[in-house]
Structure 1
Amino acid sequence: MAEVVALKPIQEGPVFSELTDGVLRITLANPPANALSIAAMAAFQAELERARDDRSVRVIVLAASGKVFSAGHDLKEVSAHRADADRGRAFFQRTMADCSKLMQTIVRHPKPVIAEVDGLATAAGLQLVASCDLAICSQESTFCTPGVNIGLFCSTPMVALSRNVSRKQAMEMLLTGETIDAATAREFGLVNRVVPREYLVQVVNKYAQIIASKSALTLKIGKEAFYAQAEMSLADAYEYASRVMVENMLARDAEEGIDAFIGKRTPEWKGE
C-alpha cells in the first residue's frame, strides 16, 4: 500500500501538499481563479524550498483544484495598490520579483517538476506550466496569454513561453491574446501529453513514478545540465556537457547502474 503523508505548508498560504511514494503533489487551492497572489506564490515558494533537500521527495507535481488551473496574477490585488502613493510601483515590482523567483526556482530545482493541468491556464498561470519540466493536461484544458486584451503585454509569461514553443507560435499567442485548446498546445510544444480528464491523475502519477525510480543524483545532474547547455553555443554546450558526463560517470550511482545493467539486475541507488 502506498505511503501517503499529508504535509502542512511552512507558512500560511492557499496550497495543499501531499507526499506519496516519493512524489510530492503541491495543489493550488485558491478557487475559483487559483490566482497567483502574493500569498499563493509565497506558499508555492516555501513548499519548493522545503522539498529541495528532502531526500524523501523524488518528483514534484504541481496541480490545482477547481475548473481553472490558474488565471495568473490576482488583478484585484494588483488594482487595489493603484491607490498607493507611488501608484502601485513598489507592489508591482514585488509581484514581478516574487513571480520571477518562483519560476526560476522551478527550473533550477534539483527535482523534476511536472505540471498537471485540468482547466484554463492563462498569463502567469501559463507561465507556471511552461516553467515546469513536463506538462500533462486534460482534453478540456485551454491556454492563453491575454494581457494584450487589457493593455498589459504578457512580458514575463513570454520568457517561459518563448523557451517552450517557436517564436512564431509564441508571438501568435502574445499578440492575439486568443485561447488555444489542448491539442494545439501539444502541437506547439507547450505540453507533453493530452489525456481524457478521468485519466489525468493516473497518467501523471505513472510518469512521476517512472521518474522517481531513477537515481536522484542522475536526475539532478541531468536537469541542471539541460537548462545550462540550452543557453550556450553548440561548441560551448558540447564542452560543458562532456565535463558533466565525465563527472557523472565517476558517481557511485553510475557505477552501480552500469554494473546492474551488465549483471541484469535492478540497481540500488544511493544518491551519490
Structure 2
Amino acid sequence: MVENVVRSQSRGYEVRITICRPDSRNALNREVAEGLIAAILAAEADAECRVIVLTGEGERAFCAGGDIKAGAEGGPFVQDPAYPDHFAGQLFETIQACRKPTIARINGVAMGAGAGIICACDLAVMVDHARIGTPEVKVGLFPMTIVPPMIRMLPRRRLMEMFITGVPLTAEESLRYDLVNHVTDTAGLDDKVAELVAQIAAQSPTAIRLGKYACHAMEDMTYAQQMRFAETLLPRVAQTEDAREGFAAFIAKRKPEWTGR
C-alpha cells in the first residue's frame, strides 16, 4: 500500500481507509486508486474487520475528483490504449465487490470520482457543509467512469441534470435523493459513523456477506431470475454456522456469538 497517500487504520471492528492528500483536496490519481484498492482488499481479508469506512483527510474534501494536475503521471484522463481498464473503474468495482459493508464518511466536498466512490459504497454519512457534484462539463469532459455506479443510485433526470449542468447537490438534496443515508454537523459525523459500525458489527458477518453477494448478483437480473436465485440461495444461508447460532440464540433468548462462518 502507498502509505503517503492512503492510510489504513484498524479501530476495533472498523478499518478506516483515508485518502491523505489534503493539499490537493484528496484528489484521485493512479497512486491513490491503487492504494485504496490494496487497503480495501487487505481489510476484506482481515478476520477482525467487520466494516470498512472510506474518507478523506481534513474537513475540506472527501475527494475532489480526478487530479487534473497529475497529467500523464497517473492522471485520470490519460490512458494507454493497449490497456482499456481504468484505475477509477477498477476502484469502484473493488468497492462494490467487497464482501464486507462499506461506509463513505463524507467529511467535505465530493466531486467526480469522489461521487463515484460514494455511490459504490453500501452506506454514506455526510457532513452538512459538504457538496456532491460532477463538474467535468466545466472543463470540457464528461464523467464516464462514474456513470455506472451513479446511474444505479440516483433518479435519471436528477443524474442527467448533475452531469450536464455541473451544479452540485447540497447535503439536504443528497439526503432527499437517497444518495446518502444520514447528514450531520461536523461534530456529529464520527458519532453517526460509529453508531452504524456498532449496529453492523452486532449482526452476522456471514449473513451480511452472502446478502451483499446476492444483492449485487441480482441487480441486473429479470424479476423471475432474481426469484430463482433467491430461492436457491436461501437454504444455503440457513445452513451456515451463523444461522444455526442465530436460531439457537433466539430460542434461548441470549445474544448470539457469531463465528462468521
TM superposition score category, shorter chain reference: over 0.9
Candidates 148, 152, 157, aligned match of 1:163 = 152
The answer to whether the 8 A contact 2:79-2:86 is kept is no
| TM superposition shift of 1:149 | 1.3
Q: Which residue identity is paired with 1:16?
A: R
The answer to whether the 8 A contact 1:69-1:117 is kept is yes
- What CA distance in whole angstroms lies between the structure 2 residues aligned with 1:127 and 1:79? 22
TM-score (norm 2): 0.93
- What CA distance in whole angstroms lies between the structure 2 residues aligned with 1:115 and 1:190? 11
Q: Which residue of 2 aligns with 1:100?
A: 89
Distance 1:88 1:184, change over 3 A: closer
Candidates 27, 32, 36, aligned match of 1:35 = 27
Distance 1:170 1:210, change over 3 A: same
Q: Which residue of 1 aligns with 2:123?
A: 134
Root mean square deviation, CA, Å: 1.9
Candidates 226, 236, 243, aligned match of 1:254 = 243
Candidates 252, 255, 260, aligned match of 1:263 = 252
Q: Which residue identity is paired with 1:22?
A: Y
Candidates 198, 206, 213, aligned match of 1:217 = 206
Q: How many residues align?
A: 258
Distance 1:50 1:89, change over 3 A: closer
- What CA distance in whole angstroms lies between the structure 2 residues aligned with 1:45 and 1:193? 25
Candidates 29, 36, 48, aligned match of 1:44 = 36
The answer to whether the 8 A contact 2:89-2:146 is kept is no
1:76 aligns with 2:76: no
| TM superposition shift of 1:111 | 0.6
The answer to whether the 8 A contact 1:35-1:72 is kept is yes
| TM superposition shift of 1:91 | 8.2
Q: Deviations over 1:228-268 (max 9, x none)?
A: 11111111111111211110011111011012112110001
Percent identity of paired positions between Structure 1 and Structure 2: 32
SS of 1:174's equivalent?
Answer: helix
Q: Which residue identity is paired with 1:25?
A: R
Distance 1:179 1:242, change over 3 A: same
Name which of structure 1's ranges 71-80 and 213-222 shifts more when overlaid on structure 2. Answer: 71-80
Q: Which residue of 2 aligns with 1:90?
A: 80
| TM superposition shift of 1:12 | 3.8
Q: Which runs of 5+ in 1 are unaligned?
A: 1-9
Q: Which residue of 2 aligns with 1:60?
A: 52
TM-score (norm 1): 0.90
Distance 1:91 1:203, change over 3 A: farther
Q: Which runs of 5+ in 2 are unaligned?
A: none
Q: Which residue identity is paired with 2:61?
A: V
Q: Which residue identity is paired with 2:14?
A: V
**Which aligned runs of 4 or more in structure 1 are off by greater than 3 angstroms?**
10-13, 79-82, 91-94
Q: Which residue identity is paired with 1:204?
A: V
